[in-house]
Amino acid sequence: MTAQIYALEITPRLPERIKRLDDLANNLYYSWTRSIRHLFSQIDPECWQQTDDNPRLFLKRVSQAKIDAAIADPVFLADYDDACRHFDDYMAQPMPESIAKHLQPNDLIAYFCAEYGFHESLPIYSGGLGILAGDHCKAASDTGIPFVAVGLLYRQGYFKQTIDAQGNQIATYQDIDFTTLPIAPATDPKGNAVTIRLDFPGRVIEAKVWLAMIGRIRLFLLDTDLPGNSTDDRQITYRLYGGDRRTRIEQEIVLGIGGVRALRALGLAPTAWHINEGHAAFQILERLREHVSSGETETVALEMVASTTVFTTHTPVPAGHDVFT
């Protein structure tokens, strides 16, 4: 008989009275809303600090006794009700007329970037580009414009930096447990989990699509760390800006081409495509391929893609851009 080992995780049960802590923990609106973060810290300040201000991880680690004490605390319950009311009001507020009058009913912006910086609880960023992309998403949510974002879900994120006694930088990577992140599998209009396929030289790889809610907008993240892929292909989305040049161009293919296919599989039809930095440039080629495959001439396809593409650069110097030969 072969012994089997099972992982057992014990998590607290949220009483119905404060069940919506789950909703608050799974929307990154908390990343720019201090009152929601404070709500979690009220339950157990020490556990909140130990879980690095990560609401979803906190709800997995906090003790049942602390949850039970919180539900008996009238001050906490009042703050909880206020937070839920504020969240609901925010999610339901209409788009300002000053913006709505410039949009058509089917307008949708698709925003592509290699990194997004919202909060340390979703560690898929390294610096300024990610923070800029995160702020674009937050602003889109605040204004209510029709907007979706596309990126990559990195298994190890960006490296952790330590300095040794000689002053040298030491970079360390750790696997990220996706169950502790404010994400869920993305689903198509029929409720099916979305996985897309990409043709690479001599092989086909698959990428799973995940969803993160950023206030009122959706961020879709592609992940190649799937059992059906080879070890090398699983590692395409392991590290932000990691690996050799082959890995970098493979990441950019997954982001650009895979991102377009992911949106199609999700039933979305963007009318404007925003590329924030050159990492998603393959998006243009995939859209050209779509137009030509539908019967349009190359000239028309080029005009269609050019007229619906926006490009912004965060690093306008040669050293800030990949060149592949």
pLDDT tens, 100-144? Answer: 999 999 999 999 999 999 999 999 999 899 999 999 999 999 999
What distance in Å separates the CA atoms of residue 312 and residue 314, rounded to the nearest whole number? 7
CB neighbours of 143 closer than 8 A, spacing ≥ 6? 95, 96, 99
What does the pLDDT read at residue 318?
A: 78
What distance in Å separates the CA atoms of residue 156 and residue 320, rounded to the nearest whole number? 22
What mean pLDDT value characterizes the chain? 95
Question: pLDDT-derived band of residue 4, with 50, 70 and 90 as boundaries?
Answer: confident
> What's the pLDDT tens digit per position in 32-74?
999 999 999 999 999 999 999 999 999 999 999 999 999 999 9
CB neighbours of 184 closer than 8 A, spacing ≥ 6? 26, 210, 211
**Percentage of the chain with pLDDT > 90?**
89
Task: Please answer whether residues 154 and 224 qualify as being in contact, where contact means their C-beta atoms are separated by less than 8 angstroms.
Answer: no
CB atoms within 10 A of CB 281: 16
What does the pLDDT read at residue 1?
A: 58
Q: Using a cut of 0.85, tell me whether the model's pTM lies above it.
A: yes
> What's the pLDDT tens digit per position in 91-110?
999 999 999 999 999 999 99
Task: Please answer whether residues 187 and 119 qualify as being in contact, where contact means their C-beta atoms are separated by less than 8 angstroms.
Answer: no
What does the pLDDT read at residue 32?
A: 97
CA 191 to the chain's CA centroid: 19
So where are the chain's domains? 19-92, 104-320
- CATH no. for 104-320: 3.40.50.2000
**Side-chain-side CA neighbours of residue 59 (13 Å):** 22
Tell me the backbone φ, ψ of residue 302, rounded to 5 degrees: -60, -40
Task: Please answer whether residues 282 and 257 qualify as being in contact, where contact means their C-beta atoms are separated by less than 8 angstroms.
Answer: yes
CB atoms within 10 A of CB 56: 21
Strands 203-214 vs 217-223: parallel, antiparallel or unpaired: antiparallel
**Percentage of the chain with pLDDT > 70?**
98
Q: Evaluate if residue 5 carries a pLDDT over 80.
A: no
| Structure tokens given for 12 | 């607290």
Beta bridge mates, 152:
222
What does the pLDDT read at residue 324?
A: 78
